[in-house]
Each structure stands twice: as C-alpha cells, then as structure tokens.
C-alpha cells in the first residue's frame, strides 16, 4: 500500500514539477549512438564485464548489454561509456 502511494506521488511530482522521470524516480538514463556507443547514467555498480557482455546493477533489477569488442571508455561511480558493437540491451527484473 505504501509503495503504491509513493509511486503515485513520484508520478505526480514528475508531472507537476516538469522534472525528468529518471531524476525523480531513480531510473537509469541510457543514451545510444547507433550500435557503437552506449552511455548509461544512474546505475548502482558494475557486476560483469567481458569483451561481449556488460551487466550493471540498477536500483530495481539489472541491465544487460550484449555485443562484440566491448571497451569501457569512461567509468565513474554512477556513469559508464561503453564502445563496441552493441547487439542487445535487456532490462532484467531480478
């Protein structure tokens, strides 16, 4: 019950204050440039990195990026810039 109320309140605040949903609701912001760059903000940490897979912890669930020839160009506490050939971006609700 309390969780539903909080969600409704966040949605109302987002609409009334015209703030981006990712800021108010603690969601990841994902920016892709074609299949070669992906910039992810507001994650909770790096779980797995190989040359073909990236897995990040989110507030709720995980984000899985699959592809080839991955290189981390920038990594900060809540931001990451990944280069390579991106084939899939999947939200895992685990």
In a domain, 4, yes or no: no
In a domain, 16, yes or no: no
* SS3 of residue 45 by DSSP: strand
In a domain, 58, yes or no: yes
Specify the pTM.
Answer: 0.76
Residue 42's CATH number: 2.60.40.2000
For the chain, 94 residues long, give each residue's pLDDT as a single digit of tens.
666 766 676 666 666 666 555 555 578 999 999 999 999 999 999 999 999 999 999 988 999 999 999 999 999 999 999 999 999 999 999 6
The count of domains in the chain is 1
Q: What pLDDT, on the 0 to 100 scale, is given for residue 36?
A: 97
In a domain, 11, yes or no: no
85 within 8 A of 41, measured Cβ to Cβ:
no
Contacts of 52 (CB under 8 A, 6+ apart): 66, 67, 68, 69, 70
In a domain, 81, yes or no: yes
For residue 33, give its domain range.
26-92
Q: What pLDDT, on the 0 to 100 scale, is given for residue 18?
A: 61
């Amino acid at each position: 019950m309390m969780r539903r109320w909080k969600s409704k309140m966040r949605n109302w605040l987002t609409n009334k204050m015209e703030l981006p949903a990712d800021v108010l609701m603690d969601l990841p912001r994902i920016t892709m440039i074609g299949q070669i760059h992906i910039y992810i903000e507001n994650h909770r940490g790096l779980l797995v990195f190989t040359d073909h897979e990236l897995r990040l912890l989110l507030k709720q669930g995980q984000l899985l990026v699959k592809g080839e020839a991955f290189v981390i160009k920038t990594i900060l506490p809540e931001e990451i810039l990944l280069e390579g050939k991106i084939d899939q971006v999947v939200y895992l609700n685990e």
